[in-house]
Amino acid sequence: MVTIKGPAIFLAQFAGDEPPFNTLENCCKWAKSLGYEGIQVPTWDTRLIDLKQAAESQTYADELKGIAASHGIQITELSTHLQGQLVAVNPAYNELFDGFAPEAYRNNPAARTEWAVQQLKYAAKASQNLGLTAHATFSGALLWQTVYPWPQRPAGLVEAGFTELAKRWTPILDVFDSCGVDVCYEIHPGEDLHDGVTYEMFLEKVNNHSRACLLYDPSHFVLQCLDYLAYIDHYHERIRMFHVKDAEFNPTGKQGVYGGYQGWVDRAGRFRSLGDGQVDFKAIFSKLTAYDFPGWAVLEWECALKHPEDGAKEGAAFIRDHIIRVTEKTFDDFASSGADEVMNRRILGI
């Protein structure tokens, strides 16, 4: 068995124009001061990283690692959640998702998709240059607006959607494979990969590509009423990343999974800071440890109520307290009588 690495923190929800969130170095100092050992870096935020340069310059990648290391921090993974979303966008969402791309690519879906694909390819090489083996992203969505269909979906629509999604992602997965990096899809509402069944449909379309892996985040499964512990049993061989994020689901006589168009505070399902929600993290850390999860436990802070800096401060201790240092011996070794083949045969009567 291996001990899960951590704690680490995803910087996407914290990066900003004011210190300590305005530069990679300042973020590293801040994270270390809270007790974190790693950071997950959002590649769309140029205050923290120049993705193209990290892909094309080993020297620059080494500088980024050096900045982190000088403060006792490791870069755990890179993220292209926003760019991955733009690999596949249904026209119904064009205007809403245009803001994820640079201004030059807005109002031009084909150019926007081409830009997003190139971003993912840069991320593969940048990850390799940084010595990373896993990468976080979204799948994008061509079908999400039909998830609860009215009128009924036309026959063959889902098949066509997943065929096209796989067509777009397979060349990207091949680039990641050449760089020795796993693509870890965050299974998430709003994406075509939003539960185990949709992930399996995609996996079949990409011919079980070895790099089509998973980022495990139980909070999204709480809000879907999906068994997040059984999910680990089903997919542990593909889980390469772990977002430690809490959530709660409290349905009422007035609203349930869909939330009635309410803001986050008033929704039946909402994200919470670690320990404030309903996720059984003791069971999750136990299962992942038993299955030899090889990666980092990374806080993704999202909460409808608590201040982010308080959530980050509490999160480091919460993760550290849940990481299981694996044992090197069996608890009943003291009672062992050793290995004796002759005695074993005698006990068995053979």
Q: Answer whether 243's CB lies under 8 Å from 10's CB.
A: yes
- Predicted local distance difference test score (pLDDT) of residue 333: 67
What 8-state DSSP symbol labels residue 141? B
Over residues 214-228, the mean pLDDT reads 98
Amino acid, res. 137: T
Torsion sign (Cα): 341, 345, 346, 348: positive
When comparing pLDDT for 15 and 333, which is higher? 15
CATH of domain 5-348: 3.20.20.150
pLDDT, greater one: 334 or 280: 280
Burial of residue 244 (CB within 10 Å: 0-12, 13-18, 19+) is: buried
pLDDT at 202 over 90: yes
Confidence of residue 328 (pLDDT cuts 50, 70, 90): confident
CA–CA separation, 120 and 179 (whole Å) = 12
Amino acid at 61: A
| Residue 337 predicted with pLDDT over 80 | no
Task: For the chain, report the end-to-end CA distance as a whole number of angstroms.
Answer: 34
Q: Which helix (H) or strand (E) holds 137?
A: strand 134-137
Strands (E), the chain: 5-10, 38-42, 74-80, 134-137, 182-186, 212-216, 239-244, 246-249, 269-272, 296-299
Average pLDDT over all residues of the chain: 96
What is the arithmetic mean of pLDDT over 185-208?
98
pLDDT bucket at 335, cuts 50 / 70 / 90: low
Question: Is the peptide bond preceding residue 294 cis, with omega within 30 degrees of 0?
Answer: no
Residue 51: its H or E element: helix 51-56
Could you report the per-residue pLDDT of 19-76, keeping only the tens digit for each?
999 999 999 999 999 999 999 999 999 999 999 999 999 999 999 999 999 999 999 9
Is residue 325 pLDDT above 80, yes or no?
yes
Distances (CA, A) of 135 to 123, 194, 213, 266, 283: 8, 18, 9, 33, 25
Task: Note the pLDDT tens digit of each residue in 139-192.
Answer: 999 999 999 999 999 999 999 999 999 999 999 999 999 999 999 999 999 999
Nearest to 6 by CA among 331, 348, 285: 285
pLDDT, residue 330, reads 73
Residue 332: band (very low, low, confident or very high) from pLDDT cuts 50, 70, 90: low
The token duo for 165 is 């999604």
pLDDT at residue 248 in the model: 98
Angle between helices 281-290 and 308-322 (to 10 degrees): 50
Amino acid 329: pLDDT: 75
Q: Which two tokens stand for residue 271?
A: 């994200």
Task: Spell out the domain ranges in the chain.
Answer: 5-348
What are 104-151's pLDDT values in tens digits?
A: 999 999 999 999 999 999 999 999 999 999 999 999 999 999 999 999
Query: Rounded to two decimals, what is the model's pTM?
Result: 0.95
Is pLDDT above 80 for 305?
yes
